[in-house]
Amino acid sequence: MERTDTKERLLGATLKLISTRGYLGATTREIAREAGVSELTLFRHFRSKERLFEEVLNTYTFLPRLRELLPELEGLPCDEALMSIGTGFLETLKERKSMVRIMFSEMNTYPEKVRRVHKRFIDETILTLANYFRALQDRGRLRKFPHTTGARAFLGMVFSYFQTEEIVKGRNINKKEMQRTVGEFTDIFLRGVK
Amino acid sequence: MERTDTKERLLGATLKLISTRGYLGATTREIAREAGVSELTLFRHFRSKERLFEEVLNTYTFLPRLRELLPELEGLPCDEALMSIGTGFLETLKERKSMVRIMFSEMNTYPEKVRRVHKRFIDETILTLANYFRALQDRGRLRKFPHTTGARAFLGMVFSYFQTEEIVKGRNINKKEMQRTVGEFTDIFLRGVK
DNA sequence: CCATAATGTAAGCACTTACTTACATTAGGA
DNA sequence: TCCTAATGTAAGTAAGTGCTTACATTATGG
């Protein structure tokens, strides 16, 4: 009974290694070494690599915070509310970068498992935002437009920005840059470019 | 001298298998079998799996294709031009789906050399559209806005849409749905939602 | 103080992988 | 007709890979 955090260390090491080297590229030997335990311990806790991976997905699944965020935006003007939604979304993505990486890398290895995570996060976020837009339309704060497509559009801008900069280029989007870019996205989304 | 298209068949098989199983998951045996040649022939044409993969990336790049999207839009009004860019972009992504899959799923596991090409690809795509926007601004057809962010925004909407539907969900976006959605994106992008 | 549960070390197994070697076949051009 | 270039078959190699077995160590709680 030497350690109590063995399982957590293994899960963390697996998340790290699979997100950087891919499922096939991350070996159980290396995961164990990264966690500071023997390979045998890995197999004693999780019976196979696949089960280990599954537990990683379950452990680090993330849910959108948008729903909790919305009530706080009640009184705000549209631009400030959207700005807040955009930066909140981007911050969640940054926090869960490893999981986002895995989501799009292991789509082929384990399609159903990964799709579940995607559905829980992306689809849910689009839906929530779309409903929010509809509410704003009903109150006359926004003009009529297809609210689901609108949600897709806004989140798509932010997500693609995250994907190209943080994931593909490996850059870190700092607070200042984030504020600026999301601000510009918001402005375009609200006012249009014409 | 039995066949003249051996190399092409191998490149095609590699594209197909790597895009579905990943770089490590696609074995040289299977690639050869898919191409209808012996594994030895594969190694005689390309000396290693890595070189084979590099040639695949060079062969199937579609950056030139994207560049062709702009020139023919001279006389069109903004909304039609944007619509054309959006659908053209989306159609290219669909056509080159395998490449898109490879580029955005596993890039972090590939050698630095490959990643650099990929980064340049993204930057150039954004830059091309950004320059187009600037030209339209100079001619007073669009209002002043940060043109690079604008290009990011528009391409991001379309790309995220493609990624979610075609890659993650495995759906086929048909012509009609594509027209509608891109039309709505364009409208939002030009007029805003306020 | 001792049973137990969590860990370790070490060896190894069955399998796969990228890649090689040696040798044979075949078809077209000189 | 014969040389050459492209291909094939078959066997094999070295280095992994996930996972197992056998056995030892150690700390803790009753």
**CATH value at residue A72:** 1.10.357.10
CATH number for position A47:
1.10.10.60
Give the whole-angstrom CA distance, residue A185 versus residue B154.
10
Please tell me whether residues A140 and A176 are part of one structural domain: yes
State yes or no: pLDDT of B81 exceeds 70. Answer: yes
Whether the CB-CB separation of B156 and A157 falls below 8 Å is answered with yes
Q: Kindly report the number of other CB atoms within 10 A of residue B6's CB atom.
A: 16
pLDDT tens digits along B18-33: 999 999 999 999 999 9
Burial of A2 (0-12, 13-18, 19+ CB in 10 A): exposed
Q: Is the CB of B55 under 7 A from strand C?
A: no
Using CB atoms, pick whichever of B122, B161, B189 lies closest to residue A193. Answer: B189
Instruction: Give me the numbers of helices (H) and strands (E) for chain B, helices first please.
Output: 10, 0
Give the whole-angstrom CA distance, residue A43 versus residue A48.
6
Please tell me whether residues B47 and B102 are part of one structural domain: no
State yes or no: pLDDT of B112 exceeds 80. Answer: no
Please tell me whether residues A99 and A43 are part of one structural domain: no
The reply to whether A19 falls in a domain is: yes
Please compute, for residue B161, the number of CA atoms within 13 A of its CA located in the half-sphere on the CB side.
Answer: 31
DSSP string of B114-175, one letter each residue: HHHHHHHHHHHHHHHHHHHHHHHHHTTSS----HHHHHHHHHHHHHHHHIIIIIIS-----H
Please tell me whether residues B77 and B53 are part of one structural domain: no
With an 8 Å Cβ cutoff, are A104 and B104 in contact?
A: yes
Residue where a domain stops, chosen among A37, A59, A81: A59
Question: What is the percent of chain B where pLDDT is above 70?
Answer: 98
Q: Is the CB of B1 under 7 A from strand C?
A: yes
pLDDT tens digits along B83-98: 999 999 999 999 999 9
Closest by Cα among A112, A164, A85 to B107: A164
**Which amino acid is present at B48?**
S
* Least confident among A22-36, A104-118, B45-59, B169-183: A104-118
- Name the nucleotide nearest A1; use CA and C1': C6
Whether the CB-CB separation of B159 and A168 falls below 8 Å is answered with no
B137: left (phi over 0), alpha (psi -120 to 50) or beta: alpha
Contacts of A133 in chain B (CB under 8 A): 193
Q: What is the mean pLDDT of chain B?
A: 93
Residues of chain A with pLDDT under 70: 1-3
With an 8 Å Cβ cutoff, are A188 and B155 in contact?
A: no
Please tell me whether residues A83 and A34 are part of one structural domain: no
The reply to whether B164 falls in a domain is: yes
The reply to whether B133 falls in a domain is: yes
Please tell me whether residues B45 and B77 are part of one structural domain: no
Domain count along chain A: 2
Q: If you search the block for the tokens 């994106």, which residue do you land on?
A: B185
Please tell me whether residues A119 and A43 are part of one structural domain: no
Q: Is the CB of B38 under 7 A from strand D?
A: yes
Q: What ipTM was estimated for this complex?
A: 0.92
The reply to whether B31 falls in a domain is: yes
- The answer to whether the Cα torsion of B172, B80, B187, B132 is positive or negative is positive
**Residue in chain A lying closest to B144 (CA):** A193
* Angle of CA points A74, A79, A83, to nearest 5°: 90
Closest by Cα among A83, A158, A166 to A122: A158
Please tell me whether residues A112 and A123 are part of one structural domain: yes
Please tell me whether residues B41 and B79 are part of one structural domain: no
Instruction: Name the pLDDT band for B2 (thresholds 50, 70, 90).
Output: low
Q: Is the CB of B45 under 7 A from strand C?
A: no
The reply to whether B169 falls in a domain is: yes
* Angle of CA points A110, A118, A80, to nearest 5°: 160
**Which amino acid is present at B79?**
D
Parent domain of A67:
61-191
Give the whole-angstrom CA distance, residue B48 versus residue B46.
6
The reply to whether A1 falls in a domain is: no
DSSP A109: T
pLDDT tens digits along B154-166: 999 999 999 999 9
Please tell me whether residues A31 and A124 are part of one structural domain: no
Query: What is the pLDDT, as a whole number, of residue A2?
Result: 56
The reply to whether A143 falls in a domain is: yes
Please tell me whether residues A46 and A78 are part of one structural domain: no
Query: What is the pLDDT, as a whole number, of residue B3?
Result: 66
Alpha carbon of residue B52 to chain centroid: 20
With an 8 Å Cβ cutoff, are B187 and A157 in contact?
A: no
Query: What is the pLDDT, as a whole number, of residue B105?
Result: 87
Please tell me whether residues B31 and B74 are part of one structural domain: no
The reply to whether B15 falls in a domain is: yes
